[in-house]
Structure 1
Amino acid sequence: MRHFHRPCSPWILLCTCVFGTLALTGCQGTQSETAGQAVASPAAEHYRAFQRADRLAAYLRSSPNPLVSAHRGGPDAGFPENALQTFGHALTQGPVLLEIDVRMTKDSVLVLMHDDTLARTTTGRGAVQAQTLKEIRSVQLVTNTGTPTRFEVPTLSEALAWAEGRAVLQLDIKEHVPRSRVAAALQRQDALDQALVITYTLEDAEWYHQRLPDLVLSASAETREDASALVQRIDPSRLLGWVGIGEVADGPAEVFSENRVPIAVGTFGETDRQARNQGLIVYHRLFDQGVDVVSTNEPALASQAAATYAP
């Protein structure tokens, strides 16, 4: 399988430079918090900002290098998953996309939380949907090793505001979150140039596409037929095709590639473990198979692999 967009043209390189310049000039003086202290951000060189949704779509389709998505926002030592401070830390490691998880509180506020309960990722207890935002704000996020931090659970609105001029968010919408609320949040904050929605069914993808035709959708396909249905009913320029975890499902990948849809694979789990032991070659092998985006728990390592990849 061959990448449909590499090697890139001089025009694409120029556009990439322009986008990077826009991001840098539009974000001077920003700060990120690490270990509870505000410090000048060292991540500005990795910021990505787009003026319109079609420019975001073009970036995903035509990046000169493979792209890296930080799974759950890129948790690391001292940085919990789905936290604004973690996002800033992840951007010091590369120009990563930020995959985040969205749930809804008892009082219908969209917040960032992977699990349906607070126990694993915060100092609190109980179901997310049984808590008000005020109650959720009373707890602190904890790291993957269980260490409490001073960071609080952010709302989706806060995450979108944080990402403006900095990064692209991939929204993994969890159970019992109405699609209409997600769409309304994206419209209210004019965020189609900085966010895409992860969908798991053709029905969900069609719902979003009919209402927000400019929105980029990450859509899963397990078979060639699944992928064919997606490219027939969704504008391919607004698709990112998810084809598996750890390996490439050839049938869907071929359909997506034929229709100029970038291909994404998850490496969290065994593939990331192999990369820690064997090095960048593990990600390079996926790039050789035509993978354009890897969603990973090792954004620093994967970013090195993307930056050094030579097809």
Structure 2
Amino acid sequence: MIRRYCLLTLILCFGIVNCYAQKKLHTLNIKTEKELQTYFKYTGKDILLISGHRGCHIPDYPENSIEAFEYVLQHTPAFFEVDPRLTKDSVVVLLHDATLDRTTNGTGKLSDYTWEEVKKLKLKDKNGKITDYRIPTLEEAIQWVRGKTILNLDKKDLPLAMTESIIENNNAGAFVMVTVHDAEQARFYYNKDKNRMMSAFVKTEKALKEYEDAGIPWTNMIAYIGPENKKENDVLLHLLHKRGVMCMISAAPTYDKLESAVERGAAYRQTFTMGADILESDLPVEAAAAIKSILPRRSPKSPFFKY
């Protein structure tokens, strides 16, 4: 009887350890807003960064889901661009579209449903398969990523003041940043918090000048420069790098849609060899694997990465 009990105990312990091992995550060691700014500062010797667009967009793992975040971090360090939207009763949830049809088993506008109704819905994966996962609230996502990685909040239907208030109330400035589409939006956040980290649309030299004229320090920004690798990016990349700004290309509307993994991998690598520092992708695990061969062996950013 004792022998049987001991055997059962060993089996249970092995199962727990094995389960924990499967959930071991790549995390980022960032504790303050200043450390977040240092993590994103361009040095010329940086570890190439992957941003999971809406988490990821693959079979079995719906976009904008906590389960997608966890899946990605099991395979690679990454941060996540997500889409906060409001329910009818002003609960902030993660959903890209204004409507429920594409990504859930619901129909119609999100804004026509209360949170009590929304939380009963199931998320669909990229193939339309209904999963067991549900739409998370922004606060649930913030609590899940705390101590693990960074959230980049895109601009949807939330007022800027509400977004800022959520970050402040959750004491999340060290790991939650905001997307800004112009200098006016950037100035709002900077006025609220001089250390607020932003992902800024800087697709032209004119836009670059507008941010500078608005008095926004480049230490507070990474720059989204567009969805394509092109020679015309060279001048903008030089100007931004000179200011210590990391530059991001989004492969979601372009290279993620190439037919084969070989073609996609070549495009991901080219994104970095042509000067970008961050790749945003619907396929962050695949992208991370594709760029392993071009990662620097040493970087001043290495202490930020944990596994």
Q: TM-score, normalised by structure 2?
A: 0.84
Among 53, 60, 71, the alignment partner of 2:33 is 53
CA gap of 1:93–1:58, structure 2 versus 1, over 3 A, is same
Gaps of 5+ in 2: 1-15, 297-307
- The residue aligned with 2:282 is 297
SS in 2 for 1:242: strand
Among 246, 254, 276, the alignment partner of 2:238 is 254
User: What amino acid is aligned across from residue 204 of structure 2 in structure 1?
Assistant: T
- The residue aligned with 2:300 is none
Q: Deviations over 1:83-113 (max 9, x none)?
A: 1111100112210111111101111111100
Alignment of 1:117-136 (within 5 A): 117-136=99-118
Report the alpha carbon displacement of residue 41 of structure 1 after superposing the two structures with TM.
Answer: 5.8
CA contact (8 A) 1:74 1:87 kept: yes
Structure 1 residue 40 corresponds to structure 2 residue 20? yes
CA contact (8 A) 1:102 1:110 kept: yes
Task: Find the aligned partners of 1:45 and 1:143 in 2 and give their Cα distance.
Answer: 22
User: What amino acid is aligned across from residue 204 of structure 1 in structure 2?
Assistant: Q
Report the alpha carbon displacement of residue 230 of structure 1 after superposing the two structures with TM.
Answer: 1.6
CA contact (8 A) 1:53 1:193 kept: yes
CA contact (8 A) 2:53 2:80 kept: yes
SS in 2 for 1:173: coil
Report the alpha carbon displacement of residue 310 of structure 1 after superposing the two structures with TM.
Answer: 4.9
Q: Deviations over 1:154-187 (max 9, x none)?
A: 0100000000011111111203x11111111100
Of 55-64 and 154-163, more deviation after overlay is shown by: 55-64
Q: How many residues align?
A: 274
- The residue aligned with 1:179 is 160
CA gap of 1:194–1:138, structure 2 versus 1, over 3 A, is same
Q: Which has the larger radius of gyration?
A: 2
SS in 1 for 2:83: strand
Report the alpha carbon displacement of residue 126 of structure 1 after superposing the two structures with TM.
Answer: 1.6
CA contact (8 A) 1:164 1:194 kept: yes
User: What amino acid is aligned across from residue 266 of structure 2 in structure 1?
Assistant: I
- The residue aligned with 2:186 is 205
SS in 2 for 1:280: helix
Structure 1 residue 308 corresponds to structure 2 residue 293? yes
Report the alpha carbon displacement of residue 279 of structure 1 after superposing the two structures with TM.
Answer: 5.4
CA contact (8 A) 1:111 1:154 kept: yes
CA contact (8 A) 1:65 1:307 kept: no
Q: Deviations over 1:37-81 (max 9, x none)?
A: x94364545111311011111112257311000111113221111
Alignment of 1:3-82 (within 5 A): 39-40=19-20, 42=22, 44-61=24-41, 64-82=46-64
Alignment of 1:115-154 (within 5 A): 115-154=97-136
CA contact (8 A) 2:227 2:254 kept: no
CA contact (8 A) 2:256 2:264 kept: no
CA contact (8 A) 1:231 1:259 kept: no
**Which protein has greater RCO, CA pairs closer than 8 Å, 6+ apart?**
2
Task: Find the aligned partners of 2:217 and 2:56 in 1 and give their Cα distance.
Answer: 30
Instruction: Give the ranges of 4+ consecutive aligned residues of structure 1 lying more than 6 Å apart after TM superposition.
Output: none
Report the alpha carbon displacement of residue 228 of structure 1 after superposing the two structures with TM.
Answer: 2.3
Structure 1 residue 108 corresponds to structure 2 residue 108? no
Identity in percent = 26
Task: Find the aligned partners of 2:21 and 2:209 in 1 and give their Cα distance.
Answer: 43
SS in 2 for 1:253: helix
Q: TM-score, normalised by structure 1?
A: 0.82
- The residue aligned with 2:254 is 270
- The residue aligned with 1:83 is 65
- The residue aligned with 1:224 is 205
